[in-house]
Chain A
Amino acid sequence: MKKEMTCIVCPIGCQMTIEEKADGTYEVTGNTCKRGPKYAINEMTNPTRVIPTTVVIKNAMLPRLPVKTAEPIPKGQIFDAMAAINQVVVEAPVKTGDVVIKDLLGLGIDVVATRTMDKC
Protein backbone atom coordinates (compact mmCIF):
# COMPACT_ATOMS: atom_id res chain seq x y z
CA MET A 1 0.00 0.00 0.00
CA LYS A 2 1.15 3.49 -0.85
CA LYS A 3 0.01 6.72 0.81
CA GLU A 4 0.67 10.43 0.40
CA MET A 5 0.75 12.57 3.53
CA THR A 6 1.82 15.94 4.91
CA CYS A 7 4.20 15.74 7.83
CA ILE A 8 3.07 17.73 10.89
CA VAL A 9 6.16 17.29 13.06
CA CYS A 10 7.28 20.85 12.26
CA PRO A 11 5.96 23.81 10.24
CA ILE A 12 7.80 22.83 7.02
CA GLY A 13 5.08 20.29 6.24
CA CYS A 14 7.05 17.94 3.97
CA GLN A 15 4.95 16.09 1.40
CA MET A 16 5.89 12.48 2.07
CA THR A 17 5.11 9.21 0.36
CA ILE A 18 5.07 6.03 2.38
CA GLU A 19 5.03 2.57 0.81
CA GLU A 20 4.76 -0.83 2.42
CA LYS A 21 7.32 -3.25 1.02
CA ALA A 22 6.73 -6.97 0.47
CA ASP A 23 8.78 -7.79 3.58
CA GLY A 24 6.49 -5.65 5.76
CA THR A 25 8.92 -2.75 6.15
CA TYR A 26 8.09 0.78 5.06
CA GLU A 27 9.84 3.11 2.68
CA VAL A 28 9.34 6.83 3.26
CA THR A 29 10.34 9.46 0.73
CA GLY A 30 9.94 13.23 0.61
CA ASN A 31 10.98 13.81 4.21
CA THR A 32 13.81 16.21 5.02
CA CYS A 33 14.60 14.97 8.52
CA LYS A 34 14.55 11.65 10.34
CA ARG A 35 11.46 12.57 12.36
CA GLY A 36 9.38 12.33 9.18
CA PRO A 37 9.57 8.55 8.66
CA LYS A 38 8.73 7.93 12.33
CA TYR A 39 5.59 10.05 12.00
CA ALA A 40 4.70 8.47 8.63
CA ILE A 41 5.05 4.88 9.87
CA ASN A 42 2.97 5.66 12.94
CA GLU A 43 0.28 7.27 10.77
CA MET A 44 0.31 4.18 8.53
CA THR A 45 0.30 1.49 11.21
CA ASN A 46 -1.55 2.99 14.17
CA PRO A 47 -2.84 6.53 13.69
CA THR A 48 -4.32 7.93 16.89
CA ARG A 49 -5.95 11.20 17.93
CA VAL A 50 -7.06 12.85 21.15
CA ILE A 51 -10.78 13.65 20.84
CA PRO A 52 -11.83 16.92 22.44
CA THR A 53 -15.60 17.42 22.57
CA THR A 54 -18.38 18.29 25.01
CA VAL A 55 -21.02 16.55 27.13
CA VAL A 56 -24.29 17.86 28.55
CA ILE A 57 -23.96 19.28 32.07
CA LYS A 58 -26.84 20.09 34.44
CA ASN A 59 -26.94 22.78 37.14
CA ALA A 60 -23.89 24.64 35.84
CA MET A 61 -23.43 28.16 34.47
CA LEU A 62 -23.24 26.68 30.94
CA PRO A 63 -25.13 23.73 29.38
CA ARG A 64 -21.98 22.05 27.99
CA LEU A 65 -18.85 20.72 29.68
CA PRO A 66 -15.68 20.34 27.58
CA VAL A 67 -14.08 16.88 27.78
CA LYS A 68 -11.31 14.94 26.03
CA THR A 69 -10.02 11.41 25.76
CA ALA A 70 -7.24 11.19 28.35
CA GLU A 71 -5.05 9.47 25.73
CA PRO A 72 -5.13 9.38 21.94
CA ILE A 73 -7.57 6.78 20.59
CA PRO A 74 -7.39 4.90 17.26
CA LYS A 75 -8.42 7.17 14.41
CA GLY A 76 -10.88 4.59 13.06
CA GLN A 77 -12.94 4.70 16.25
CA ILE A 78 -13.45 8.48 16.44
CA PHE A 79 -17.12 8.40 15.42
CA ASP A 80 -17.94 5.46 17.71
CA ALA A 81 -16.32 7.44 20.50
CA MET A 82 -18.39 10.52 19.65
CA ALA A 83 -21.59 8.46 19.75
CA ALA A 84 -20.71 7.11 23.20
CA ILE A 85 -19.64 10.50 24.56
CA ASN A 86 -22.82 12.17 23.29
CA GLN A 87 -24.94 9.87 25.53
CA VAL A 88 -23.39 11.28 28.70
CA VAL A 89 -25.11 13.76 31.02
CA VAL A 90 -23.21 14.97 34.09
CA GLU A 91 -24.16 17.13 37.07
CA ALA A 92 -22.17 20.09 38.34
CA PRO A 93 -19.88 20.50 40.22
CA VAL A 94 -17.15 18.99 38.07
CA LYS A 95 -13.40 19.45 38.35
CA THR A 96 -10.78 19.36 35.58
CA GLY A 97 -9.58 15.76 35.21
CA ASP A 98 -12.75 14.20 36.64
CA VAL A 99 -13.59 11.00 34.77
CA VAL A 100 -16.75 11.39 32.69
CA ILE A 101 -16.58 7.96 30.99
CA LYS A 102 -14.48 5.12 32.37
CA ASP A 103 -12.84 2.85 29.78
CA LEU A 104 -14.28 4.35 26.59
CA LEU A 105 -15.30 1.59 24.09
CA GLY A 106 -13.21 -0.88 26.05
CA LEU A 107 -10.04 0.87 24.92
CA GLY A 108 -8.80 1.29 28.48
CA ILE A 109 -8.89 5.06 27.98
CA ASP A 110 -11.05 7.42 30.05
CA VAL A 111 -12.88 10.55 28.95
CA VAL A 112 -12.07 13.39 31.35
CA ALA A 113 -13.41 16.90 32.00
CA THR A 114 -11.17 19.69 30.73
CA ARG A 115 -12.54 22.45 32.91
CA THR A 116 -13.94 23.02 36.34
CA MET A 117 -17.61 23.97 36.53
CA ASP A 118 -19.24 24.96 39.76
CA LYS A 119 -22.82 24.25 40.70
CA CYS A 120 -25.15 27.19 40.26
Chain B
Amino acid sequence: MKYVDEFRDPERAAVLIAAIGDLARSLDRARERPLHIMEVCGGHTHTIFRYGIANMLPAEIELVHGPGCPVCVLPMGRVDDCVAIAEAPGVIFATFGDAMRVPGSRKSLLQAKAEGADVRMVYSPLDALALAHENPQREVVFFGLGFETTMPSTAFTVLQAEAEGVRNFSLFCNHITIVPTMKAILDSPDLELDGFLGPGHVSMVTGTRPYEFIARDYYRPLVVAGFEPLDILHSLWLVLKQIVEGRCEIENQYGRVAPRDGNSAAQDAIGKVFELREFFEWRGLGSIDHSGVRMREAYAAYDAERKFAIPALHVADPKSCQCGEVLKGAIKPWQCKLFGAGCAPETPLGALMVSSEGACAAYYQYGDLEGLRAKRAANAA
Protein backbone atom coordinates (compact mmCIF):
# COMPACT_ATOMS: atom_id res chain seq x y z
CA MET B 1 0.00 0.00 0.00
CA LYS B 2 1.58 3.20 -1.13
CA TYR B 3 2.01 5.89 1.54
CA VAL B 4 1.49 3.24 4.22
CA ASP B 5 4.19 0.65 3.62
CA GLU B 6 6.80 3.41 3.70
CA PHE B 7 6.02 3.78 7.40
CA ARG B 8 6.47 0.05 8.00
CA ASP B 9 9.82 -0.50 6.32
CA PRO B 10 11.79 -3.15 8.26
CA GLU B 11 15.15 -1.85 7.02
CA ARG B 12 14.52 1.62 8.37
CA ALA B 13 13.22 0.01 11.56
CA ALA B 14 16.50 -1.86 12.00
CA VAL B 15 18.46 1.39 11.65
CA LEU B 16 16.28 3.11 14.26
CA ILE B 17 16.43 0.15 16.66
CA ALA B 18 20.23 0.22 16.47
CA ALA B 19 20.30 3.98 17.07
CA ILE B 20 17.90 3.66 20.02
CA GLY B 21 20.09 0.90 21.47
CA ASP B 22 23.22 3.05 21.15
CA LEU B 23 21.54 5.97 22.92
CA ALA B 24 20.10 3.79 25.69
CA ARG B 25 23.41 2.07 26.39
CA SER B 26 25.18 5.42 26.66
CA LEU B 27 23.03 6.26 29.70
CA ASP B 28 24.31 5.29 33.14
CA ARG B 29 20.74 5.52 34.43
CA ALA B 30 19.56 2.80 32.13
CA ARG B 31 22.00 0.35 33.75
CA GLU B 32 20.25 0.67 37.11
CA ARG B 33 16.76 0.15 35.83
CA PRO B 34 15.23 0.23 32.35
CA LEU B 35 13.99 3.61 31.13
CA HIS B 36 10.22 3.81 31.36
CA ILE B 37 8.65 5.58 28.41
CA MET B 38 4.87 5.92 28.45
CA GLU B 39 2.91 5.92 25.23
CA VAL B 40 -0.16 7.86 26.29
CA CYS B 41 -2.50 6.84 23.53
CA GLY B 42 -4.34 3.55 23.10
CA GLY B 43 -3.66 3.78 19.37
CA HIS B 44 0.07 3.70 20.08
CA THR B 45 -0.37 0.70 22.36
CA HIS B 46 -2.21 -1.06 19.57
CA THR B 47 0.58 -0.39 17.05
CA ILE B 48 3.26 -1.50 19.51
CA PHE B 49 1.57 -4.85 20.02
CA ARG B 50 0.38 -5.36 16.49
CA TYR B 51 3.90 -5.00 15.07
CA GLY B 52 5.67 -6.64 17.99
CA ILE B 53 7.71 -3.51 18.77
CA ALA B 54 8.25 -4.14 22.51
CA ASN B 55 10.39 -7.19 21.78
CA MET B 56 12.48 -5.37 19.20
CA LEU B 57 13.63 -2.76 21.72
CA PRO B 58 16.84 -3.12 23.72
CA ALA B 59 16.50 -4.32 27.32
CA GLU B 60 17.28 -0.79 28.56
CA ILE B 61 13.86 0.45 27.46
CA GLU B 62 10.43 -0.52 28.73
CA LEU B 63 7.23 0.86 27.36
CA VAL B 64 4.48 1.76 29.82
CA HIS B 65 1.03 1.74 28.28
CA GLY B 66 -0.95 4.83 29.16
CA PRO B 67 -4.55 5.75 29.95
CA GLY B 68 -5.39 6.92 26.43
CA CYS B 69 -8.07 4.37 25.63
CA PRO B 70 -11.40 6.12 26.23
CA VAL B 71 -13.38 2.90 26.19
CA CYS B 72 -11.16 1.42 28.91
CA VAL B 73 -11.37 4.29 31.34
CA LEU B 74 -15.15 4.61 31.19
CA PRO B 75 -16.40 3.89 34.73
CA MET B 76 -19.01 1.22 35.34
CA GLY B 77 -21.49 3.77 36.67
CA ARG B 78 -21.52 5.56 33.30
CA VAL B 79 -22.12 2.27 31.48
CA ASP B 80 -25.06 1.70 33.85
CA ASP B 81 -26.37 5.14 32.84
CA CYS B 82 -26.06 4.17 29.16
CA VAL B 83 -28.04 1.01 29.79
CA ALA B 84 -30.71 2.98 31.68
CA ILE B 85 -31.09 5.41 28.77
CA ALA B 86 -31.07 2.62 26.18
CA GLU B 87 -33.82 0.81 28.09
CA ALA B 88 -36.04 3.90 28.36
CA PRO B 89 -39.20 3.61 26.23
CA GLY B 90 -38.93 4.95 22.69
CA VAL B 91 -35.17 5.36 22.71
CA ILE B 92 -32.75 4.36 19.95
CA PHE B 93 -29.31 4.31 21.57
CA ALA B 94 -26.53 4.84 19.03
CA THR B 95 -22.96 3.94 19.92
CA PHE B 96 -19.56 3.16 18.45
CA GLY B 97 -19.12 -0.60 18.28
CA ASP B 98 -16.23 -0.91 20.72
CA ALA B 99 -18.32 0.50 23.58
CA MET B 100 -20.91 -2.27 23.27
CA ARG B 101 -18.97 -4.84 25.27
CA VAL B 102 -17.83 -2.61 28.15
CA PRO B 103 -19.23 -4.14 31.33
CA GLY B 104 -21.48 -2.14 33.60
CA SER B 105 -22.29 -3.22 37.13
CA ARG B 106 -25.33 -5.15 35.90
CA LYS B 107 -24.84 -5.55 32.16
CA SER B 108 -23.19 -4.22 29.03
CA LEU B 109 -24.97 -2.50 26.16
CA LEU B 110 -24.61 -5.74 24.21
CA GLN B 111 -26.57 -7.56 26.91
CA ALA B 112 -29.15 -4.76 27.05
CA LYS B 113 -29.57 -5.11 23.27
CA ALA B 114 -30.04 -8.87 23.62
CA GLU B 115 -32.76 -8.18 26.18
CA GLY B 116 -34.63 -5.94 23.77
CA ALA B 117 -33.17 -2.44 24.03
CA ASP B 118 -32.79 -0.76 20.63
CA VAL B 119 -29.01 -0.28 20.57
CA ARG B 120 -27.52 0.52 17.16
CA MET B 121 -23.88 0.48 16.16
CA VAL B 122 -22.85 3.57 14.19
CA TYR B 123 -19.58 4.68 12.64
CA SER B 124 -20.10 8.42 13.09
CA PRO B 125 -22.31 10.72 15.18
CA LEU B 126 -23.79 11.90 11.87
CA ASP B 127 -25.15 8.36 11.36
CA ALA B 128 -26.97 8.83 14.68
CA LEU B 129 -28.40 12.15 13.49
CA ALA B 130 -29.56 10.40 10.30
CA LEU B 131 -31.34 7.85 12.52
CA ALA B 132 -33.14 10.74 14.22
CA HIS B 133 -34.35 11.98 10.82
CA GLU B 134 -35.50 8.49 9.84
CA ASN B 135 -37.31 7.90 13.15
CA PRO B 136 -39.09 11.15 14.02
CA GLN B 137 -41.26 9.40 16.64
CA ARG B 138 -38.26 8.08 18.55
CA GLU B 139 -35.59 9.78 20.66
CA VAL B 140 -32.14 9.01 19.31
CA VAL B 141 -29.36 9.26 21.90
CA PHE B 142 -25.76 9.24 20.73
CA PHE B 143 -23.16 7.95 23.16
CA GLY B 144 -20.40 10.57 22.84
CA LEU B 145 -17.12 9.08 23.91
CA GLY B 146 -13.45 9.81 23.48
CA PHE B 147 -10.81 12.50 23.84
CA GLU B 148 -10.39 15.67 21.79
CA THR B 149 -10.01 13.39 18.77
CA THR B 150 -13.73 12.61 18.64
CA MET B 151 -15.06 15.72 20.41
CA PRO B 152 -15.17 17.90 17.27
CA SER B 153 -17.33 15.48 15.27
CA THR B 154 -19.76 15.21 18.18
CA ALA B 155 -19.82 19.00 18.62
CA PHE B 156 -20.43 19.57 14.90
CA THR B 157 -23.24 17.01 14.95
CA VAL B 158 -24.97 18.85 17.81
CA LEU B 159 -24.54 22.14 15.93
CA GLN B 160 -25.98 20.55 12.79
CA ALA B 161 -28.93 19.09 14.74
CA GLU B 162 -29.64 22.58 16.05
CA ALA B 163 -29.33 24.15 12.60
CA GLU B 164 -31.74 21.57 11.17
CA GLY B 165 -34.16 22.03 14.07
CA VAL B 166 -34.04 18.33 14.96
CA ARG B 167 -35.85 17.80 18.28
CA ASN B 168 -35.46 14.07 18.82
CA PHE B 169 -31.67 13.87 18.99
CA SER B 170 -29.53 14.11 22.08
CA LEU B 171 -26.01 13.39 23.23
CA PHE B 172 -24.96 11.42 26.29
CA CYS B 173 -21.65 13.18 26.77
CA ASN B 174 -18.75 11.17 28.15
CA HIS B 175 -15.98 13.03 26.41
CA ILE B 176 -12.80 13.33 28.41
CA THR B 177 -9.61 15.27 28.12
CA ILE B 178 -6.16 13.76 28.46
CA VAL B 179 -4.00 16.55 29.92
CA PRO B 180 -5.45 16.60 33.49
CA THR B 181 -4.99 12.86 33.64
CA MET B 182 -1.37 13.06 32.55
CA LYS B 183 -0.92 15.66 35.27
CA ALA B 184 -2.52 13.36 37.84
CA ILE B 185 -0.13 10.59 36.82
CA LEU B 186 2.86 12.95 36.98
CA ASP B 187 1.79 14.07 40.47
CA SER B 188 1.76 10.56 41.92
CA PRO B 189 4.59 9.83 44.36
CA ASP B 190 5.39 6.36 43.00
CA LEU B 191 5.85 7.64 39.47
CA GLU B 192 8.62 5.95 37.50
CA LEU B 193 8.28 7.50 34.07
CA ASP B 194 11.21 9.00 32.21
CA GLY B 195 9.46 10.36 29.14
CA PHE B 196 6.33 10.31 27.00
CA LEU B 197 5.13 9.56 23.52
CA GLY B 198 2.38 12.18 23.29
CA PRO B 199 -1.02 11.59 21.70
CA GLY B 200 -1.04 12.21 17.96
CA HIS B 201 -4.67 12.60 17.02
CA VAL B 202 -5.60 14.57 20.15
CA SER B 203 -2.78 16.95 19.18
CA MET B 204 -4.19 17.25 15.67
CA VAL B 205 -7.10 19.09 17.36
CA THR B 206 -5.44 20.71 20.38
CA GLY B 207 -1.96 21.37 19.03
CA THR B 208 1.11 20.70 21.15
CA ARG B 209 0.96 23.68 23.55
CA PRO B 210 -1.18 21.94 26.21
CA TYR B 211 1.76 19.62 26.99
CA GLU B 212 4.32 22.36 27.59
CA PHE B 213 3.91 22.18 31.39
CA ILE B 214 5.17 18.59 31.31
CA ALA B 215 8.62 19.70 30.19
CA ARG B 216 8.53 22.97 32.12
CA ASP B 217 7.17 21.81 35.49
CA TYR B 218 7.89 18.08 35.58
CA TYR B 219 11.15 17.92 33.60
CA ARG B 220 9.99 15.09 31.38
CA PRO B 221 10.48 15.01 27.60
CA LEU B 222 7.43 14.43 25.42
CA VAL B 223 7.33 13.70 21.68
CA VAL B 224 3.96 13.85 19.92
CA ALA B 225 4.00 10.63 17.92
CA GLY B 226 2.26 9.23 14.85
CA PHE B 227 0.69 5.78 14.76
CA GLU B 228 2.71 3.84 12.24
CA PRO B 229 5.44 1.58 13.63
CA LEU B 230 8.25 3.76 12.25
CA ASP B 231 6.57 6.79 13.86
CA ILE B 232 6.78 5.02 17.21
CA LEU B 233 10.45 4.10 16.81
CA HIS B 234 11.37 7.54 15.51
CA SER B 235 9.58 9.18 18.45
CA LEU B 236 11.27 6.87 20.94
CA TRP B 237 14.61 7.83 19.44
CA LEU B 238 13.71 11.52 19.82
CA VAL B 239 12.74 11.02 23.50
CA LEU B 240 15.99 9.17 24.21
CA LYS B 241 18.03 11.79 22.42
CA GLN B 242 16.51 14.42 24.72
CA ILE B 243 17.32 12.33 27.78
CA VAL B 244 20.89 11.72 26.63
CA GLU B 245 21.39 15.39 25.84
CA GLY B 246 19.78 16.45 29.12
CA ARG B 247 16.93 18.31 27.41
CA CYS B 248 13.23 18.34 28.38
CA GLU B 249 11.16 19.63 25.50
CA ILE B 250 7.89 19.10 23.71
CA GLU B 251 8.75 17.88 20.23
CA ASN B 252 6.42 16.98 17.40
CA GLN B 253 7.23 13.90 15.33
CA TYR B 254 3.69 13.87 13.82
CA GLY B 255 3.93 17.27 12.13
CA ARG B 256 2.44 15.83 8.94
CA VAL B 257 -0.90 15.61 10.78
CA ALA B 258 -0.66 17.57 14.04
CA PRO B 259 0.16 21.27 13.68
CA ARG B 260 1.59 23.18 16.64
CA ASP B 261 -1.60 25.20 17.10
CA GLY B 262 -4.02 22.40 16.30
CA ASN B 263 -7.23 22.88 14.37
CA SER B 264 -8.96 26.14 15.27
CA ALA B 265 -12.31 25.29 13.64
CA ALA B 266 -12.47 22.10 15.70
CA GLN B 267 -11.46 23.96 18.86
CA ASP B 268 -14.17 26.57 18.24
CA ALA B 269 -16.87 23.92 17.85
CA ILE B 270 -15.73 22.18 21.03
CA GLY B 271 -15.69 25.49 22.92
CA LYS B 272 -19.14 26.38 21.68
CA VAL B 273 -20.84 23.14 22.70
CA PHE B 274 -18.85 21.85 25.68
CA GLU B 275 -17.54 23.15 29.00
CA LEU B 276 -15.26 21.49 31.56
CA ARG B 277 -16.83 19.50 34.38
CA GLU B 278 -15.51 20.07 37.89
CA PHE B 279 -14.39 16.47 37.92
CA PHE B 280 -14.94 13.21 36.07
CA GLU B 281 -14.40 9.65 37.19
CA TRP B 282 -11.96 7.36 35.36
CA ARG B 283 -12.06 3.63 35.72
CA GLY B 284 -8.87 2.55 37.48
CA LEU B 285 -7.76 6.11 38.28
CA GLY B 286 -10.66 7.50 40.29
CA SER B 287 -12.00 11.03 40.09
CA ILE B 288 -9.78 13.57 38.32
CA ASP B 289 -10.48 17.31 38.40
CA HIS B 290 -11.44 18.99 35.11
CA SER B 291 -10.87 15.80 33.15
CA GLY B 292 -14.25 15.62 31.42
CA VAL B 293 -16.61 17.92 29.53
CA ARG B 294 -20.36 18.37 29.58
CA MET B 295 -22.74 20.24 27.30
CA ARG B 296 -23.24 23.94 27.83
CA GLU B 297 -26.61 25.26 29.07
CA ALA B 298 -27.29 26.69 25.59
CA TYR B 299 -27.47 23.14 24.20
CA ALA B 300 -29.58 21.71 27.05
CA ALA B 301 -32.19 20.59 24.51
CA TYR B 302 -29.62 18.16 23.11
CA ASP B 303 -28.23 16.96 26.42
CA ALA B 304 -29.31 13.44 27.38
CA GLU B 305 -28.16 14.08 30.95
CA ARG B 306 -30.83 16.78 31.22
CA LYS B 307 -33.47 14.97 29.14
CA PHE B 308 -33.37 11.64 30.97
CA ALA B 309 -33.54 10.64 34.61
CA ILE B 310 -30.09 9.11 34.85
CA PRO B 311 -29.18 6.99 37.89
CA ALA B 312 -25.64 8.51 37.96
CA LEU B 313 -24.58 6.13 40.70
CA HIS B 314 -20.93 5.71 41.51
CA VAL B 315 -19.78 2.11 41.19
CA ALA B 316 -16.43 1.37 42.80
CA ASP B 317 -13.72 -0.50 40.89
CA PRO B 318 -12.98 -3.98 42.21
CA LYS B 319 -10.75 -3.65 45.29
CA SER B 320 -7.83 -5.77 44.12
CA CYS B 321 -7.73 -4.01 40.73
CA GLN B 322 -4.26 -2.53 40.09
CA CYS B 323 -4.92 -0.55 36.91
CA GLY B 324 -3.66 2.63 38.57
CA GLU B 325 -0.26 1.11 39.36
CA VAL B 326 0.05 -0.28 35.83
CA LEU B 327 -0.71 3.17 34.42
CA LYS B 328 1.96 4.81 36.53
CA GLY B 329 4.54 2.27 35.39
CA ALA B 330 4.88 0.90 38.92
CA ILE B 331 3.97 -2.63 37.83
CA LYS B 332 3.60 -4.47 34.53
CA PRO B 333 0.17 -5.76 33.50
CA TRP B 334 1.09 -9.37 34.15
CA GLN B 335 2.26 -8.49 37.68
CA CYS B 336 -1.28 -7.48 38.66
CA LYS B 337 -2.87 -10.02 40.99
CA LEU B 338 -5.95 -10.21 38.79
CA PHE B 339 -4.22 -10.53 35.38
CA GLY B 340 -5.56 -13.71 33.81
CA ALA B 341 -6.92 -14.70 37.22
CA GLY B 342 -10.44 -13.36 37.10
CA CYS B 343 -9.59 -10.42 34.84
CA ALA B 344 -9.47 -11.45 31.18
CA PRO B 345 -10.83 -9.97 27.92
CA GLU B 346 -13.99 -12.11 28.19
CA THR B 347 -14.60 -10.95 31.77
CA PRO B 348 -12.75 -7.67 32.29
CA LEU B 349 -12.61 -6.34 35.85
CA GLY B 350 -10.18 -3.48 35.36
CA ALA B 351 -10.17 -0.71 32.78
CA LEU B 352 -7.11 -1.89 30.95
CA MET B 353 -8.60 -5.26 30.05
CA VAL B 354 -11.72 -3.79 28.46
CA SER B 355 -10.82 -2.75 24.93
CA SER B 356 -8.18 -4.24 22.65
CA GLU B 357 -6.35 -0.92 23.03
CA GLY B 358 -6.11 -1.34 26.80
CA ALA B 359 -2.64 -2.29 27.99
CA CYS B 360 -3.70 -5.48 29.77
CA ALA B 361 -5.96 -6.70 26.96
CA ALA B 362 -3.17 -5.98 24.48
CA TYR B 363 -0.73 -8.05 26.55
CA TYR B 364 -3.33 -10.75 26.87
CA GLN B 365 -4.07 -10.83 23.16
CA TYR B 366 -0.80 -9.92 21.47
CA GLY B 367 1.87 -9.92 24.14
CA ASP B 368 4.79 -12.29 23.97
CA LEU B 369 4.90 -12.64 27.75
CA GLU B 370 7.59 -15.28 27.73
CA GLY B 371 9.78 -13.07 25.56
CA LEU B 372 9.22 -10.00 27.71
CA ARG B 373 9.87 -11.87 30.96
CA ALA B 374 13.09 -13.28 29.51
CA LYS B 375 14.13 -9.79 28.47
CA ARG B 376 13.37 -8.46 31.94
CA ALA B 377 15.30 -11.28 33.60
CA ALA B 378 18.29 -10.63 31.32
CA ASN B 379 18.12 -6.98 32.25
CA ALA B 380 17.99 -7.71 35.98
CA ALA B 381 21.02 -10.03 35.76
A-B complex is real: no
Residues of A participating in the B interface, judged by any CB pair closer than 8 Å = none
Residues of B participating in the A interface, judged by any CB pair closer than 8 Å = none
